[in-house]
Chains A and B, each alone.
Chain A
Amino acid sequence: MNGMGLLKGLAITFKELWKKPVTLEYPEKKEKLPPRFHGSFTLYSEKCIACGLCQQACPNKVIKVGSIKDENNKRKLASYEMEMKYCLFCGLCVEACPTNALVFNQEYELAKYNVEDIKLTLFKKEQITTGEGSENV
């Protein structure tokens, strides 16, 4: 019958009226993120073996791993820096890490007021020994 579509439309909007809003009031409330969300990075420096695979995997040359060799000729992490302005959050570095030292975290508000602050320094040894075998890989 003519005009039944109008009633159908009214019924649909009436049902929608009682639905919960899908809007998220973002700065006040935050979305629950999935566990494997590609956010910022966390480095468990005690796990890191400074192998440099992440640096090799990175397509944009974001990561700079600094390492030193200690007295037992064992490679150790000295510094870990990421130029976040080039990062495309592809996750190849996280995949490449053999010890799961580098992981994503849930942080995504990465805008900064100063350009210098964009650089992410995940690890920095307090005093880098300038002794034997100090090298940058």
Chain B
Amino acid sequence: MGENLFVGMAKGLRTWLESNHFLPIVTDVFLMLLAVVGVLGFLFLNALFLIYYDRKFGAWVQARLGPNRVGPRGIFQTVADTLKLFAKEIFIPNNVDRWPYLLAPVLIFTIPVMLFLVIPFGKGMVPYDLNLGVLYLVAVTSVETIVLWMAGWSSNNKYSLLGAMRSVAQMLSYEMPVIFAMLSVVMMAGSMKLSDIVAAQQKVWFIFLQPVGFLIYFIAVNAEFKRTPFDLVEGESEIISGPYTEYSGMNFALFFLAEYTNFMIGAIMVTTLFLGGWNAPFGWTFIPSWLWFIIKMYFVITLYMWTRWTFLRIRIDQMLNFAWKFLLPVSLVNIFVTGVGLYLYRMIRW
């Protein structure tokens, strides 16, 4: 019953609209809008919860209590913080490049929203199943750096500029291992369509066939979305807040929310590419596929938080060295081994 909850709802709505003789285009547009609203709701609710969960998890690791004042166990802390930021003035300093400065917070949030277009949330629950889903993911994620550069450059502040430069360097160097790790998965699945990749993992998840690829991807995605061992872009102790330094009020809130949404996207990508997406493990199909997806996503998120609250921020040269001198060669070797393995497997089968 739970399995077809959302798909069934969409189907029922479609038949109802068609039976009431709406134009087909109206039906399509209405259902697409509904999907957009659903995805946005999922995204906002999860981002709000994630900020709370991150703070709570950090508190647990440090034997503290964490937020516990607003609502039961502090669950509404993020809502209260957001409301506070709503009430703050959006301050525009003198000599900022006005248009890029104001556009950056708007654009930064569109990128994670765009990424949700191709994510398979459950069985038959893909907003739009692109043929080149993996390529789309890679392409759109790397646009984020341009927005951060916009924010850093237009702020007319040395810290913002430094943060933006770091974000560009980081994105350039970690994009490679990410792509190569993704490529090994694409080679195994034989398709760039995300739903095909999920379907290819029905029996064995790719984490077992591609353990090295998984590790590379796990680390590199963490760097790409600027989580703590690699959060040089923000680097509070060195460059105040990086590109976000000059932002206040709702503009800052958008940056903050986008950061956590990106984090969520990272976890979703790890889930989809390596942990079997919405496939149920051990044939436990009594839990619906979309719930499996969320469970796996939160498992990966917890792993990322665990690393975040364990490791210290590394230096910029250490970070780049790690990417170019370790991750990139290892991922190339991984691709080579994957290719040879696939070829041998095909030979034996034939």
List residues of A whose CB falls within 8 A of some B CB: 6, 9-10, 12-14, 16-17, 19-23, 25
Contacts and interface: CB of A to CB of B under 8 A. Distances in A.
Contacts of A6: 311
Interface string B313-330: 000000000000000000
Contacts of A17: 60-61
A15 B188 CA distance: 37
A25 B64 CA distance: 10
Contacts of A13: 61, 306, 309-310
Contact of A22 (B61, B63, B68, B306): B63
B65 A10 contact: no
Which DSSP category, helix, strand, loop or mixed, fits chain A's interface? helix
B285 interface: no
Given A6-B311, A9-B311, A23 B64 contact: yes
Given A9-B310, A13-B310, 9 more contacts: A9-B311, A14-B306, A16-B61, A16-B62, A20-B63, A21-B63, A21-B64, A23-B63, A25-B68
A14 B65 CA distance: 16
Nearest to A18: B60
Interface string B30-66: 0000000000000000000000000000011111110
Interface of B: 59-65, 68, 306-307, 309-311
Contacts of B68: 25
A42 to B, nearest CB: 34
A20 B64 CA distance: 8
A104 to B, nearest CB: 31
21 contacts: A6-B311, A10-B307, A10-B310, A13-B306, A13-B309, A13-B310, A14-B306, A16-B60, A16-B62, A17-B60, A19-B63, A20-B63, A21-B59, A21-B60, A21-B65, A22-B63, A23-B63, A23-B64, A23-B65, A25-B65, A25-B68
Nearest to B309: A13
Contacts of B65: 21, 23, 25
Contacts of A22: 63-64
A137 B65 CA distance: 53
Contacts of A14: 306
Nearest to A5: B311
A12 B62 CA distance: 11
B218 to A, nearest CB: 12
Contacts of A20: 63
Contacts of B63: 16, 19-23
A12 B309 CA distance: 11
B105 to A, nearest CB: 33
Nearest to B57: A17
A19 B61 CA distance: 8
B280 to A, nearest CB: 27
CB-CB nearest 4 A-B residue pairs? A13-B310, A23-B65, A9-B310, A21-B65
A14 B305 CA distance: 11
Contact of A10 (B60, B64, B306): B306
B212 to A, nearest CB: 14
A80 B116 CA distance: 75
B255 to A, nearest CB: 27
